[in-house]
Chain A
């Protein structure tokens, strides 16, 4: 079975540019999570969706960040305008309804560098 697929794997862009990160969850998973990982702050939850509906976006750092899930098989995380402090690894994860021993399955991440 295909895992969570993220694109691009690496993104280098100049500050002020719009950045769009993409995620395809595992088929049948109805929860999708976006995380950001930095050395200073570790893994932070940005936002998560249930059945394509955003449930909690309290982790989104600023209005420059937005996320959408137009259908069950696709989500985007957009940063506009981007800043150097947004440089991080961004992970998408998906799961069935988070109960019992259901882990979240992670994509390989997008390593974002804002110059």
Chain B
């Protein structure tokens, strides 16, 4: 079974609008961490935001926020006020037992295109 599921292969959003990229995860571990990365067309992987399973509040980093719904096992990324430079692939990833030393498992990604 897939650990991380991103059901939207591609998304379009108008510039200055908000967009939500979906991510659901599967784990039986009570301790885990969720990460979002951005991969622009140049290819590098850029860390955006983190949410821990025990965090009481949704994570925010500038225009990025995470809509964390633990019971539904979802960790959707919300990008507010989209910019043309936000066009990229976005990957959701999970680390189980984040006090341990397990590596990240990545979803297949969502390609976001911001339209002027």
Contacts and interface: CB of A to CB of B under 8 A. Distances in A.
Ordered nearest first, which 4 A-B pairs have the shortest CB separation? A106-B45, A103-B47, A43-B106, A101-B50
A6 B31 CA distance: 32
Contacts of A107: 44
A85 interface: no
A1 interface: no
A33 to B, nearest CB: 6
Contacts of B33: 100-101
A115 interface: no
A101 B52 contact: yes
Interface string A10-30: 000000000000000000000
Nearest to B31: A99
B10 interface: no
Interface of A: 31, 33, 42-43, 45, 48, 50, 55-56, 89, 91, 93, 97-101, 103-109, 111
6 contacts: A42-B106, A99-B101, A100-B33, A101-B50, A104-B104, A106-B45
Interface of B: 33, 35, 37, 42-47, 50, 52, 91, 95, 98-109
Contact of B103 (A33, A109, A111): A33
- Of listed A42, A55, A101, A111, residue having the most chain B CB within 10 A: A101
Contact of B45 (A31, A55, A91): A91
A98 B103 contact: yes
B44 A109 contact: yes
A110 to B, nearest CB: 10
Nearest to A42: B108
B73 to A, nearest CB: 19
A55 B12 CA distance: 40
